[in-house]
Structure formats: structure tokens, C-alpha cells
Structure 1
């Protein structure tokens, strides 16, 4: 109760969350996941258009800065946490920051579809790690075949970009593991908001050093906000709502479509055409990820 004895009204955040929940509730969970995937890849396409003005470091710093601001304003997390919880938040944020820096460095050098397909190997390794099923060995071989196809005739594929994408995939695998710990140590979206702030602290110095005052041009700031919304805020919200309605296994299978969607958006938005072998590589990784995810068992 409030100090005057009346019941307090709902907070703006509660009202906004309820309104968003009702809006999302009318959309099938499969569509939510697909919309999230499209949003992320459109955000990457918009980000690539910014590279000419502020570079990859400047673009990723804008994305993480604005995403942190939006999430902090929305969740308003408490800073009163134990040392262990803070350690998890910092690890999560550093991993998130490095993952984005590496991915955007890759994106500046290789096509969007190739970058996302290569990066997707990180979650796939996590999904296959520790498995003793013979079928998972087949999925691993299929993914390895995809990598070979990506590198076929690599004279026109920037090796540094490919290695940056691999580094981003490694960070993505770590991000999944640290993200699970973050979920155990924090409630709602407070941990995500603080972790995003840490990621921004990691990336922004690189962006400022590389781009300087170019970052504060009005159109650059607006584009950076758009990238943050498309690549972070909107897809995270859609994924959270979808996970309330479908099992994680089904969610993982749907997420396996991300490399293919990246290749399509790269083709349509950025006019980045892939060779037939690279399209086949994308399909190999999609199939391997979907197969590995479908094979998981949710034991009680």
C-alpha cells in the first residue's frame, strides 16, 4: 500500500509488459520465432550499411549502447546483488560484447549469410558436446562438411572475416553457457539489462577510438537506435514470449533456420550473392543444427 493508505496503481512497466503480452499472445509462437529471426538479420543488414560511416567498431558500440539504455530504462534493475551474481553478470556482458565485436568485424569482410552460418557453429558445438549418440556424430560431420563447402575456392572469401566469424561463434557458445547461469542468478530481465550495459562498456571505447565524433551525427544515432531495436530489443522480447509457449527443443529447431534467413536477407537487402556451394553449406549447417536439436531429450 502507498503512504496515504491507497492501493498503488500498476507501474508503467507492468502496463507495458501486459500490453505487449496481449499483442504477442495473438501471434502463433512459430511466427514469433520467425519474426525474431527476420528482425535480427534485418538489423545486421542495416548495421552493415553503417560501416561506411562509422566502421564496424562504431556500429557495434551504437547497437550495444542503445540496447543497454532501452533495457535499463525498461527493467530498472537493482544494483544490490551478491559478489557471485555480479561475477556472472560481468562474464555475461563481456562475452556478449566480444561476440558482437567479432561478428561485426566478420560482417565487414564477408557476406551476411556466410558470417551467420559460420557463427552458428558455436551453438551447434554446445548442442553436440557430451553426446554419445551415433546420430549426433553424423550431424557433426554434416556441419563440418558445411564448413568445407564455405571454404571451397576461398580465394574470394576473406580469411580474416571467416576467422572473426569463428571467434564470434566461440563466444556464442560461451554466451549460451553463461546465459544459463545468468538465468539462475537473476530474475526477469534485470540481469540481461545489466549484462547489456557491461557489453556496451566493452564495445563503446573501441567505437569512440575508431570513429570519434562521427558517432554523434543525428542520422547515425537514429540508425544505431534502429539497429539496437531490430537486433536486440525486439528479437529478445519475441523469443521470450515464444519460449513461454513452445518447448526449448522446438524453439531450437526453429532457430536453426537463422543461417538460411541471413543468406536470403543478404541477397535481397545487400545484394550479396552466394555460390551454389555456399548455399549448400548453409543448408548443411541448418540441417545439422535442426537434427541435433531435434534429437535432444527433455528429461524431467
Structure 2
């Protein structure tokens, strides 16, 4: 696919819009944690997202023949959301996204067969190592938060790979709606059992709907459109600026500030992604 083709440029625009909305939504969602916790917030996000997407796209009109990749896609989607919210409860949003980004970065690097990509692996590893917590420093990052962000990254890798398989065999919008419904069926009961009647607070429900729209319904629809227009490697790499977008959103909405070294580590991950992207686009 030509880099400057119309489809490629539209896919890039969709991804940029998706990244901005999803990180803004995550910043807003974090403000709900004191009221309903990360699991309750995830239940809001996935439940309302699934409802919105199913009402809009009516995926039952054309169900897939092969449910396996779609089910795995939905489970990865739910796991990614839940573990990520628990992670950013403990660590800043920008750092959480940078650690989570190890998932799509791994997809990109494993898709490449060039030896020079070991250089980009080194950049990524160095960035991650700089973000790892100093267990002897009481003011350092929470190690459980770091581990949860890495688990979310593994789920993100599965989301990309199985989303590509699911989306290529049917309608992208229906795939997102069904995947979100599968994720909601698994995760919403967890949030409901954990938080109970707190989720029925009518002052919080409008915010939950907004989070579902900003954090999932809109960006995942845009991402699925982009997945259908570019290879999995290209998709992973184009999202390389998301850690920086998350850090800016965390600063502007939540007032989360990062140290110089943490910013440096985030940009090392971004450099690794961009370098792999340029290598992967070479013929």
C-alpha cells in the first residue's frame, strides 16, 4: 500500500482522532475511581460502549461464521481495559500507556525480519527499564501498577492481532460491536458485584455514558476502520505517539506531572516505534 495513498491518510487521521479521544476519556475516567473504583469504571465504559455500538450498528444482522477470533478479540478488549484502569489507579496515565504500549510494539517488531530492528528493540527496552520502579524508593512507581500495565500491553497485542483477523472477515463496525458486547458480558458483572448499588448513582451515569463514548465506542470504531486499511505492523507503529498524548492528557486534565527522566523514557519508546515503522515500510 503506498504510504501517501488516500486510504492510508484516512487511516492515519482516524488513528489520531482515536488516540486523542481515548486518552481524554481515560483522564476523565480516572476521576471516577474514588466513587466506583477501576472495575466499576470499566463496567461503565464497556457496558455503555457495547449498548451504543449495538444500537448503532445492529451486528446481529450479519453474525460471523467463525466466532473464535472474535471471542478472543473481545476477551482481549475486556482484559486490556480492566487491567489498564487498575494500573493507572496506581501510576500516572502517560507512564501507564508507555508500559502498555509494549504490546503493539512487540507486534510490530515480531512482524519485521530485519536485523536493524534489534536497535529499536534496544531503545524500547531502555525506555521500559527507565520506567520500571525503584523498589527501594518510597516515592517511586508502584510495582503492581507497572505489572498491570504490562499485562494490559499483552492484551493490547492480542486485540490487534485478533482484531485484524476478525475485521478482515466481516464488517469492521459489526466486529467492534460484537467484540465490545463480549467484553461487556465478562467485565460488567465483575464491576457490578464489586461496586453494587454505587453504579446506579444517577449523578455518575451520564459521566459513565460519556466515558463509554469517548474511551471505547468512538475510538475503537475508528481503530477498526484503520485496521482494515493498513497491516497490523503499520497500525501498531502509527500509534507510537499515544504515550505522549496520554502524558499531555494526564497533565492537562488530571494535573499529573512527569520527571524529565520519565519523559525521556516515554520518548525512547516512541523512537523505537518510529524507527521500526520506517524499517518496516522499506521494500
TM, length-normalised to structure 1: 0.83
Q: CA deviation at 1:95?
A: 1.3
Within a 5 Å distance, the mapping from 1:1-300 to structure 2 comes to 31-78=13-60, 81=63, 85-129=66-110, 131-151=112-132, 153=134, 155=137, 156-239=140-223, 252-297=236-281
With over 3 angstroms needed to count, the CA separation of the structure-2 counterparts of 1:167 and 1:251, relative to structure 1, is closer
Separation (CA, whole Å) in 2 of partners of 1:233 and 1:208: 20
Separation (CA, whole Å) in 2 of partners of 1:34 and 1:239: 9
Separation (CA, whole Å) in 2 of partners of 1:68 and 1:136: 38
With over 3 angstroms needed to count, the CA separation of the structure-2 counterparts of 1:189 and 1:238, relative to structure 1, is closer
* Partner residue, 2:4: none
CA contact (8 A) 1:75 1:190 kept: yes
Separation (CA, whole Å) in 2 of partners of 1:94 and 1:249: 21
Question: What do the CA deviations read for 1:31-87 (whole angstroms, capped 9, x no partner)?
Answer: 5433321111110001100000000000001100011001101111127646x6222
Pairs aligned (count): 273
- Tell which structure's C-alpha radius of gyration is larger: 1
3-state DSSP of counterpart to 1:157: coil
With over 3 angstroms needed to count, the CA separation of the structure-2 counterparts of 1:243 and 1:162, relative to structure 1, is closer
Separation (CA, whole Å) in 2 of partners of 1:198 and 1:248: 22
Q: Which moved more, 1:174-183 or 1:236-245?
A: 236-245
Question: What do the CA deviations read for 1:73-106 (whole angstroms, capped 9, x no partner)?
Answer: 1111127646x62222221111111111111110
Separation (CA, whole Å) in 1 of partners of 2:171 and 2:182: 17
Q: Which moved more, 1:238-247 or 1:56-65?
A: 238-247
Q: Which moved more, 1:212-221 or 1:124-133?
A: 124-133
Q: Please tell me the root mean square deviation across aligned C-alpha atoms, in Å.
A: 2.5
Question: What do the CA deviations read for 1:182-206 (whole angstroms, capped 9, x no partner)?
Answer: 1233224112211110100111111
Separation (CA, whole Å) in 2 of partners of 1:128 and 1:246: 16
Question: What do the CA deviations read for 1:247-267 (whole angstroms, capped 9, x no partner)?
Answer: 877665442110011111111
